[in-house]
Structures are given as structure tokens and as C-alpha cells.
Structure 1
Amino acid sequence: MAPGAMTPRATGPWTRSLAGARPVPYWLDDPDRPHPEPALTGAEDCDLLVVGGGYSGLWTALLAKERDPARDVVLLEGHEIGWAASGRNGGFCAASLTHGTANGLARWPDEIHTLQELGARNLDEIEEAVTRYGLDCDFERTGEIDVATAPHQAAELRAWHAEARRRGLDEGTEYLDAEQVRAQVDSPTFLAGLHDPRGVALLNPARLAWGLTRACLAAGVRVYERTSALTLKQYGAGMAVRTPYGGVRARRVALGTNVFPSLVRRVRPYTVPVYDYALMTEPLDAGRLASIGWRGRQGLADTANQFHYFRLTADHRILWGGYDSVYPYGGRVRAEYDQRPQTYARLARHFFTCFPQLEGVRFTHAWGGAIDTCSRFSAFFGTAHGGRVAYAAGYTGLGVGATRFGAQVMLDLLGGERTERTALEMVRRRPVPFPPEPFAWAGIALTKWSLARADVNGGRRNGWLRALDRLGLGFDS
């Protein structure tokens, strides 16, 4: 059987819903998708070179011009703006910088209030930038509901809500019992929920990337697409980057390459690619929308270890993603891994279990791609080449909002500034690196198996997971 082929057990009546699904990200399948900027041919000199045309690079370039409009900035993108994680994600723009408050509290308890304040401020500033630059990205400050679909998850949500309130964290969140959560979004699987009305915005991720590009160009950033950065070396008092048809000499360099191999080789062991997959339904008519409620249009995610995330789009589709997270042996990033029919079939089955009232709905798009994951599940930062180069990576699926904060950190580091951001332990310390193969693959596989077992065993964590908890390590789906 060919790799990725569906086994007979993976098929069922739900697979008919996938018959017309296009194997491309819904967001990028847009007739208004802009034409790419030309590739760099020849030599360029600049004050700041930004490598990477996703959110990380785009925010860095734009904020650099906001800080100093006279600064000469060049941005290089190896393919096209927003083609990777920035253009194919779920569009959840979260205030959290730490992959959720619980993760932040476990790792940086002395900083958690500061990190929450900085995250909330960052999301407010993203909203302000959307308005100021006229970013046409369907931005909605809808909030999010974390839903429990098993009794132990409901108990954990209630306990966490009480603990957060005791610590003065996540103020404004509300615990919802089964009746209350189903009054918001009607699914027979929902047993409880934790509603955060302000901490998440929903948006069209590809249009955000394209809008940021237009803002960069208007500010005077020189953007070159289809221009890979091949090598990074010191050149006098600055740095030099070689490209296929030329090169760039720059006083400072910011690396926003995330899941792709860093030009600073010692950074590479700190991230691994994990593949995530999603489906998009056809637009729902008024009757189908009414059958599930969802008038608040909040983002949703269930609280299992193998979790789903789902949301409404501006044209009344449902994006349904998550659950499977696939690490390829050797940590290779390859286009062939972007499609996984057995995962699409599993997601379709789960969708109709969650919303049986939507039987007959079809999926129009099915896609996947790699996320840069690190062992602490939230971004890390650093410098190289005597402070001439800065990098940020490891966003682990929460980069839609946190990349703007990461851009600020990189600019602070390149400027040699001690700021509220650079003083953070979160910024000063790196995560534990992943081991070489075959140990990385074996450890990740054992962790995924253990997390799946915990989901069906009332949340009970086995000895392997408890050991990872003690060491501050692990693998998050």
C-alpha cells in the first residue's frame, strides 16, 4: 500500500464528505492573492536584513521602520510571502505568549503576570495595527472557549479556573457548565467550557501576511520573493548573505525562518517540525448555522491531549483541524508530508461526531504543513555573531500573535537594548534541545502514545509523562 493511503478501517460514510476537497490551504486559494515581488538579482546593502517572509519576518521589518523610518530594510523570502505556516494556520491570534497560562505558570512562575500583561498589550497593538494599516484580514476579537469532551476534562477545567482566579490570572474568564457551553455552541460532546472573551482574535491568516507585506512596501522595505538565503557569514563590521542570483550585506540580520533550518547551525537542535492538518467545510446556510448556534463566533478547542481546534470564517465555513500531530523521522520538511488522507478521514469522522446535525456537509479544502516545535512549546530567542544576528523560533502553533512580540525582542536584541522584554527569563534562556536520531523519533513517538493513552484513561499520566513533567520536557500535540 502506498504511503499515506487509507486503510479500509479509515474509511466510512464520513469519507464521502471529502470527495471534492482540494488539497490546498483554503486561505491561499484566493483569487485576490497578490503577485509575488521579483527575486533579488545582484548585490544589495542595507542596515537591517530580515530573512523570512512569514509573520516573524514581516512584523520585524515593519516594526523596524516604525522605530526608525530612515532605517534601510531588506526582506528576503525563499518562496512566496505567507506560503508556509503563516498562510495555512487556523487564524487564531492569541494574547498568550507562553502557549497558555498553565504552561507559562509551570515554566516562569515569577514572570507569569508580566508575561500576561505583555501578551494582552501585544494583542491590543495587533488590533490597532490592523486598523491603522487597513489590513483586510477579517479580524474579529471574538475570544475563545476551551471545551471539555470527557468528564475528567470538565473537572480539570473547573479546577484550573479556580486556581487561576486564586493566583489573579486569566481574569475575565468564565467557567461554563454543559448547559451554558451548549447555549454558546451546540454539540452533544460538550460537557463544560472555559470562556475567555478577549484573549483571542480570529482572522484570515493569508490576508494578514499579504496586508503586512503591503504595509512594509509602503514604509519603504525592499521585499524580494523567490530569493533563498543560502549562507550567512561575517563581513567586516556586518554580515553577508549569499542568494541564488546575488547577495546582501547588512549591518544587522534578523532570522524569522522558524521551521526551516536556521542559518545559525547551533540553533537547529532546538526545534523539530511537527505536521498539523485541517479541513474546511463549504459555506453553511442559515438553517445549518442555526442548528449549532455559535452566534458569538468564538474560536474553540477541546482540551484533550490530542485536541481539535475549530472556528467560523467570514463566509460561514467551519475550519476543523488538529488531533494528529506527525513528526517525520529525521525532522525533514518535505512537501509530500503536507497531504495525509488517513488524517483527513479521521478529522471528518470526528467533525460529524461533534456536530451530527451537520450531516451531509461537504469539505472543500484539506491541507497540512509543518509547525516549528520546541521542548517548552513557546518561542525562544537569541543572538549570534557578536550580536549582529538575532533569531526567534519555536512558536509551536501560536505564532499568529506571538511573532509580533518576537519581532520586538529581536529588534531589542539587535539594538543592544535592555528592555522589559529582554530582561525576561523567558527571553534570556533557551529550551532544552532535542536529541539526535533515533532518540528524537523514539522519544516523541513514546510521548505521543502516552498522551493518547492518558486521553482514554481519565487523564492519568503514565511514568514516562510524569518523568517529562519533572524535567520540564515533553511533546505537545
Structure 2
Amino acid sequence: MAPSAMSRWTRSLSEARPVSYWLDDPGRPGPEPALTGAETCDLLVVGGGYSGLWTALIAKERDPGRDVVLLEGREVGWAASGRNGGFCAASLTHGLPNGLTRWPDQIHRLERLGARNLDAIEETVARHSIDCDFERSGEIDVATEPYQARELQDRYEEIRSQGLADGIEFLDTDAVRDQVNSPTFEAGLYDRRGVAMLHPAKLAWGLKRACIDLGVRVHEHTPALTLKPCGAGMTVRTPYGAVRARAVALGTNVFPSLVRRVRAYTVPVYDYALMTEPLTAGQLASIGWRNRQGLGDSANQFHYFRLSADNRILWGGYDAVYPYGGRVRAEYDDRPETYAKLAGHFFTCFPQLEGVRFTHAWGGAIDTCSRFSAFFGTAHAGKVAYAAGYTGLGVGATRFGAEVMLDLLAGERTERTELEMVRRKPLPFPPEPFAWTGIALTKWSLARADAQGGRRNLWLRTMDRLGLGFDS
């Protein structure tokens, strides 16, 4: 990359605010009051992101008489639920290839449950009048190198042979560029129905309102400090009080679990994104994108990108930064060197948009586990349930995770709890310095594979054999 080009592209960031575009909204609702004093309830939900919100909402829908309290340490939707790309996928397994590799015998059931889950999200959004710009526009995985095009073709043939290609179409170079015009696109795999685009923060805020309307008591600025047995139930202590509950559901994801043994199964990985100013009609015409699909490229170090309701382009991904020790800190949310890199990649993909400015640049932590899809469990003799490890694909899958947690707390054997992905956990991460060394070596190897036609070195092949799934 020529220095002059880099300078030109970084100038596009001169007015970018280091906050999530989705959260930078004058219509953002105010917080509910913090908990003060002691409360009791049937179900306590810890965490005000998607996991907690869906759990509280579905619990009330299953049993309107159930007394439900939700605690959020800051404000509903402030973390990953308000900072992500807004891709709401049907997949429960972080994509069909990951699911086929890990649970081939149950993949048809997983795909059916995932499709049903996405339909239920769309129905809930309509029933509760949640204004979150929900668009069932689908997604295209795009190849930007010839070897990636061959891999997409092979993937399509595999899923077709498995009877899983309904609504999925392989696009050659002309076909994919007819959908979205980038000189870098070589091919695409178009999932027409399995992904929706939405405004992630508005979804969280709308779920919060729906919970309150159904009688959930929501307390924000109320971190849960400790979790201890108390008679037949559990008690969670907060800075100004405590909640005693018959059952507890933990939706804390990237933040340290109140069940300490769960902590080794996730690490925080920081992801970053840019948002452009609204495109003009002429700029939109230059790139096509008439069908407003979500897009993601097929490299190991990949980008995800989509149009917002007001025709901005969100452009994120590529760098995945793991801080030594797995600490979650606000100082990691802003990373100018990654923003500059992303800006250069954006204009390489869309050179016809030269001169477009970015208005927002932000980052944040996602909870990553070694199998790239959620895991579940219980603690304290079944009185506590948890779900975590969504690895960036939790906008849709967290609703499914909420149902799993509620099934587990009820002690019910359901189609969900019988799944192998629910009954078994991923491999935990090792302690430091081994975690940092392994993740750094994996990142280096993935970048090397991208530069060498997708060829995976001995380290990646070993990770594949161990089932650690470092493939994106």
C-alpha cells in the first residue's frame, strides 16, 4: 500500500467519533432505577444483553405469573448487544460448515431449530412492535481470491449433497458482482432467507420495553457481585442490596461468570468496526447492492459489511485482538491502528466510493469459545443455568440459548436439551501464558494461510484435529 494512499484513506477517519453508531442515538431510552434493598423473585436474570433480555421475556411468555427480575451492571444493550454488526442469523452453530464438522448426525435438526428460532425473532419483533429496522435480506459469503471461489463452490456442493441447500445459491463472478459491484469479488454463496439485518441497539431497547410491559422488574446500573446458595434458592448480592431467587439465569457472556468454573471456557476477543456517512443516490448506484444483503468475505481474517436503514455502510472485522490475561477493559475499545487498516480495506473493496467519510469508529469484546458456538450448563444443583461462547454470532442464537437455559432450569428434557451441543462443552482455554501464545500463533498462522492460497500449516492442521475450530 503506497504511503499516499494510506494518508488519503486515513483522512476519511478525521471526523469519526469513537462510539458505536447504533448507541449514538438521541432516542436512546433512559435507564431503569438501580436496585436498592432486598427483593425476592421466582427467576433472577443476570445480564441486560440479548441473552438476559430473551430469557426474561420468554420466561414471562411461558408463565405470565412468574415473578422475574433482571439485573444489568450498566445499561441494557451497552456492550456487545449494542455494538455488533446487526447480522441476525438462523445458524446456531456459527455457520453451516462448523455445524457439519462438529455435529454431522444432528445438523438437520440444528438447522431446523435455527430456522424456527429466526422466524420466532421476526414474529416477536412484529408482535411487540419493536422498531429495529428488521430486514430478512439474507447474506452473501464472498470470495476475494480464486482459491476462495473454489472453496465456496466445494462448500455448496457439500451442503447440496446433504440436502441443506434450500434457499442457498452459488454465484459466479458476474452473478456476485451483479448483486454488489466490487472489483475484488470472485464468487459468492448467497443464503437468501437464513439471515436478517437489523439495528442491534434498537432490538435490545425494544426487548427491554417488552419485558417491562410484561411485568419484568428491570434494574440497571446494578452489577451482580456474588452468587451463593440460600435455603432452597440462590442469593445474588449487588452494591446496594440483594436478590433472593428460586432460580438464576446467567447471561453475562464475555464478562467473568458468577460460576467460576465456567470462566476457562471463554476468552475475550476485541472486534472493531467503522460506519460511513449516508451514501448519495449516485454512490449507491455505483455499487449496486439493491437487495441490501449482509456480506462477509471468505478469508480467515474476514470482513463483514452491510447497509444501515439510512444507507450507511458498516465495515468491520479483520483484526481480532486478544489482550494478554483475557482482561475486559474499556481502554481496548478504541484502536486507531485497526481503524486505519479497515479504512484501507474498505476503499480497496469499493474504490468507486473514494472520498466517502467515516462518522463512527468503535470496538468491543466478544466472548469466544474453542468451538465458536454457544455452550450451556447448570450449577448449584440445577438452580443456576448459563449460556455463553456465541463468538460474535449471538444476535439470533441468544434467543435459542435463552430457551435452553429455561428448559434446563425447569429440568425438562426437550428437543433442545437433547442436542449434543447442549449436553457437551467445548475444550477450555489453558492458563496464561499458554492461552496468549496459542492464540497469537493461531492468528499468525491464519494470516499466513490467507497469503498462501489457503494452505493451512502444521499448527492449524493440529488445531483442526483437536476440534478447536480456528477456521474464521
The question of a shared fold, defined as TM-score above 0.5 by the shorter chain, is answered with: yes
Give the match for residue 259 of structure 2: 264
Q: 2:395 aligns with which of 400, 412, 422?
A: 400
* 1:303-322 superposed matches below 5 A: 303-322=298-317
SS at 2:167 equivalent: coil
For each residue in 1:417-475, what CA deviation from the matched residue of structure 2 results, as whole angstroms up to 9, or x when unmatched? 00000000000000000000000000000001000000010100000000111110143
Give the match for residue 37 of structure 1: 32
Distance in 2, Cα, partners of 1:304 & 1:322: 11
Are 1:293 and 2:288 counterparts?
yes
Distance in 1, Cα, partners of 2:113 & 2:399: 11
Are 1:159 and 2:154 counterparts?
yes
Q: 1:198 aligns with which of 193, 199, 204?
A: 193
Give the match for residue 91 of structure 1: 86
Q: 1:274 aligns with which of 269, 278, 283?
A: 269
Distance in 1, Cα, partners of 2:95 & 2:118: 14
Q: 2:219 aligns with which of 221, 224, 227?
A: 224
Give the match for residue 344 of structure 2: 349
Q: Which amino acid aligns with 2:123?
A: E
Distance in 2, Cα, partners of 1:76 & 1:381: 20
Distance in 1, Cα, partners of 2:464 & 2:66: 45
Residues 464 and 470, structure 2, Cα contact 8 Å, conserved in 1 = no
Distance in 1, Cα, partners of 2:375 & 2:291: 34
Residues 10 and 346, structure 1, Cα contact 8 Å, conserved in 2 = no
Q: 1:358 aligns with which of 326, 331, 353?
A: 353
Residues 444 and 475, structure 1, Cα contact 8 Å, conserved in 2 = no
Q: Choose 295-304 or 164-173, whichever is displaced more.
A: 164-173
Give the match for residue 5 of structure 1: none
Distance in 2, Cα, partners of 1:242 & 1:453: 48
Are 1:182 and 2:177 counterparts?
yes
Q: Which amino acid aligns with 1:225?
A: E
Residues 10 and 345, structure 1, Cα contact 8 Å, conserved in 2 = no
Distance in 2, Cα, partners of 1:19 & 1:296: 31
Gaps in structure 1 of 5+ consecutive residues: 1-7
* 1:208-247 superposed matches below 5 A: 208-247=203-242
Distance in 1, Cα, partners of 2:468 & 2:275: 33
SS at 2:227 equivalent: strand
Closer/same/farther in 2, CA of residues 476 and 251 from structure 1, 3 Å limit:
farther
For each residue in 1:273-303, what CA deviation from the matched residue of structure 2 results, as whole angstroms up to 9, or x when unmatched? 0000000000001000000000000000000
Distance in 1, Cα, partners of 2:258 & 2:58: 22
Distance in 2, Cα, partners of 1:111 & 1:151: 32
Distance in 2, Cα, partners of 1:118 & 1:12: 48
Q: Which amino acid aligns with 2:83?
A: R
Give the match for residue 3 of structure 1: none
Q: Which amino acid aligns with 1:273?
A: P
Q: Which amino acid aligns with 1:343?
A: T
For each residue in 1:293-314, what CA deviation from the matched residue of structure 2 results, as whole angstroms up to 9, or x when unmatched? 0000000000000000000000
Are 1:378 and 2:369 counterparts?
no
CA-CA distance at 1:357 after TM superposition: 0.2
SS at 1:437 equivalent: coil
SS at 2:470 equivalent: coil
CA-CA distance at 1:172 after TM superposition: 1.7
Residues 10 and 342, structure 1, Cα contact 8 Å, conserved in 2 = no
Q: Which amino acid aligns with 1:340?
A: R
Residues 377 and 476, structure 1, Cα contact 8 Å, conserved in 2 = no
For each residue in 1:387-440, what CA deviation from the matched residue of structure 2 results, as whole angstroms up to 9, or x when unmatched? 000000000000000000000000000000000000000000000000000000
Are 1:56 and 2:57 counterparts?
no
Distance in 1, Cα, partners of 2:456 & 2:5: 28
Runs ≥4 residues deviating over 2 A: 8-12, 474-477
Q: 2:123 aligns with which of 100, 125, 128?
A: 128
Residues 376 and 431, structure 1, Cα contact 8 Å, conserved in 2 = yes
For each residue in 1:61-115, what CA deviation from the matched residue of structure 2 results, as whole angstroms up to 9, or x when unmatched? 0000000000000000000000000001000000000000100011111110000
* 1:62-77 superposed matches below 5 A: 62-77=57-72
Distance in 2, Cα, partners of 1:102 & 1:399: 17
Are 1:468 and 2:468 counterparts?
no
Distance in 1, Cα, partners of 2:153 & 2:446: 21
Distance in 2, Cα, partners of 1:427 & 1:448: 28
Gaps in structure 2 of 5+ consecutive residues: none
Give the match for residue 429 of structure 2: 434
Identity of matched residues, %? 80
SS at 2:25 equivalent: coil
CA-CA distance at 1:117 after TM superposition: 0.2
Distance in 1, Cα, partners of 2:48 & 2:471: 26
CA-CA distance at 1:227 after TM superposition: 0.1
Aligned length: 470
Distance in 2, Cα, partners of 1:9 & 1:470: 44
Give the match for residue 456 of structure 1: 451
Closer/same/farther in 2, CA of residues 297 and 148 from structure 1, 3 Å limit:
same
Give the match for residue 250 of structure 1: 245
Distance in 1, Cα, partners of 2:75 & 2:414: 33
For each residue in 1:180-216, what CA deviation from the matched residue of structure 2 results, as whole angstroms up to 9, or x when unmatched? 0000000000000000000000000000000000000
Distance in 2, Cα, partners of 1:291 & 1:251: 58
SS at 2:315 equivalent: strand
SS at 2:105 equivalent: coil
Residues 92 and 299, structure 1, Cα contact 8 Å, conserved in 2 = yes
Residues 376 and 387, structure 2, Cα contact 8 Å, conserved in 1 = yes
SS at 2:387 equivalent: strand
Are 1:340 and 2:335 counterparts?
yes
Distance in 2, Cα, partners of 1:9 & 1:98: 42
CA-CA distance at 1:12 after TM superposition: 2.2
Q: Which amino acid aligns with 2:275?
A: M
Q: Which amino acid aligns with 2:407?
A: D
